[in-house]
Amino acid sequence: MAQSLDEARPSPARGRGARWLESAGLPLFWAILVAGFTALRPQTFLTASNIANILGSNTVLLVVTLAALLPLVLGDFDLSVGAVSGLAAMVTAVLNAEAHWALLPSCLAACGVGMAVGAINAIFVVGFGNDTFIVTLASGTIATGLVYEISNSNTISGLSPALSQWTFLHTILGVPLQFYYGLGLVALLWYLLRWTPLGQQAIFVGQSREVARLQGIPVPWLRAAGFIGAGLLAACAGLLAVGMMGAADPSSGPSLLLPAFAAAFLGTTTVEPGRFNVLGATIAVYFLATGVAGLQLLGAQNYIQDVFYGGALITAVTVSGLVRRRLSS
């Protein structure tokens, strides 16, 4: 006998259960990952020092992920955020260690450079209507070239120790201060996008620019603000990187781009499935960091980190697309 419509239709309780499972899938998988590595390496994985290392040393990646996330929410891509992070780090190091600027003006100059790159991206993408991939890839390449130029392809050290003290060396509960700075930025961006009219307009722009424009939302200005905000966040990540390492490495910035986008897309599978969201991206960052740390403790070679991040990005993009299609059907 054929089912009636009421019988065939999923019950509200079943629908809520499926949505909950979908939203909590990544945190549950993260818990399984932690349990697995703990069982394999009980003496080293779930220790206070290793947990502090995972939380503290991945703050730079977390902030670069937030930088990548902001334009994504607005429907744009910014492929320059990793390079901008490296440029900001190098500007800080050169001004403070070689030009003998005070630390605060050096950091402010680095933030200004990050915002300037974001503004240039906005001009060429929003103002001239160029493709966001091409423009931001080009600006990131230029930023990387500038890093090697102003550093003479050398690692710059000799910065004021105050930056390292107030980012990585000072701790709370054994975890470096920069972890708490990262959480502060997460909370700020989450509040901005979740609870303010400006944030709701930004999400609306990302969903449908034309509809947003017809509703009177200033779409070009919001997109431009997204690029500038991304540049500022990337510069903040560069400052944290300098503080953590005590030096600026010219090759460090671009390597953050792949894991940042992997985390941003993986974050669309949790908390708010189908949407780029701050909390989901934060969970994804530390899920990926846990995986890399566990594999390293198991003796994996250095190349496994790139393989893991690349595989995570492919998986995240695939799953994100499936979730979006299911939600729109």
Enclosing domain of residue 192? 43-253
The pLDDT score that the predictor gives to residue 177 is 96
**For 307-317, what is each residue's pLDDT tens digit?**
888 888 888 88
Residue 18 maps to a domain: no
Residue 185 exposed, middle or buried by CB count within 10 Å (0-12, 13-18, 19+): buried
Residue 324 maps to a domain: no
> Is pLDDT of 3 > 50?
no
> What is the helix, strand, coil percentage profile of the chain, to 5?
80, 0, 20
Residue 7 maps to a domain: no
To the nearest 10°, report the CA torsion of 57, 63, 66, 67: -130
Residue 65 maps to a domain: yes
How many domains are there within the chain? Answer: 1
Residue 269 maps to a domain: no
Residue 148 maps to a domain: yes
d(CA 121, CA 228): 8
Q: What are the DSSP calls for 285-321, one per residue?
A: HHHHHHHHHHHHHTT--THHHHHHHHHHHHHHHHHHH
Instruction: Note the pTM of the prediction, 2 decimals.
Output: 0.92
> Is pLDDT of 135 > 80?
yes
Residue 197 maps to a domain: yes
**For 83-108, what is each residue's pLDDT tens digit?**
999 999 999 999 999 999 999 999 99
Residues paired with 172 in a beta bridge:
175
> Is pLDDT of 321 > 80?
no
176 three-class SS = strand
Percentage of the chain surpassing pLDDT 70? 91
Residue 308 maps to a domain: no
